């Protein structure tokens, strides 16, 4: 909650604030494995931040993503990118098939 309340107090965009907070957490806890999680419309931001955060945090979790997740190529990032979606999600803007798109599925190395 501290991070959320600090973000609300800033005048930065969510992406800018997320960058600042992830950098701050990494500086304060250099050995911590940090994961960023987003849901639905928040996955726009986590996809936008994926390149910046690729070597800064352990991974990103995208849940109930909008259809745009189908164009997300998780294989190009150094950290883990997890796409989680419920098969029976009834929301028309978060289709399960988008999460099953080949670019979002990578095999562990």
Q: Cα(36)–Cα(19) distance, rounded to whole angstroms?
A: 11
DSSP summary character for residue 75: G
Q: What is the pTM of this model?
A: 0.68
Q: pLDDT tier at 31 (50, 70, 90 boundaries)?
A: very high
Mean pLDDT of the chain: 75
Domain-embedded: residue 62 = yes
Read off the pLDDT of residues 70-109 as tens digits, 9 standing for 90 and up: 788 888 889 888 888 777 777 777 777 777 665 555 544 4
CB neighbour class for 4 (10 Å; exposed up to 12, middle 13-18, buried from 19): exposed
Residue 23 lies in a domain: no
Tell me how many domains the chain contains: 1
Residue 12 in any domain: the answer is no
Q: Domain residues for 100?
A: 33-104
More confident residue, 11 or 63: 63
Asked if 72 and 44 count as a contact pair (C-beta separation under 8 A), the reply is no
Sign of CA dihedral 17, 92, 83, 106: negative
């Amino acid at each position: 909650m501290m991070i959320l309340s600090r973000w609300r107090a800033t005048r930065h965009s969510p992406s800018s604030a997320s960058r600042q907070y992830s950098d701050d957490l990494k500086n304060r806890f250099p050995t911590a494995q940090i994961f960023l999680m987003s849901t639905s419309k928040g996955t726009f931001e986590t996809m936008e931040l994926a390149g910046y955060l690729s070597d800064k945090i352990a991974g990103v979790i995208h849940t109930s993503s909008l259809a745009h997740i189908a164009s997300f190529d998780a294989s190009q990032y150094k950290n883990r990118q997890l796409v989680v979606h419920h098969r029976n999600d009834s929301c028309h803007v978060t289709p399960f098939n988008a999460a099953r798109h080949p670019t979002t599925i990578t095999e562990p190395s």
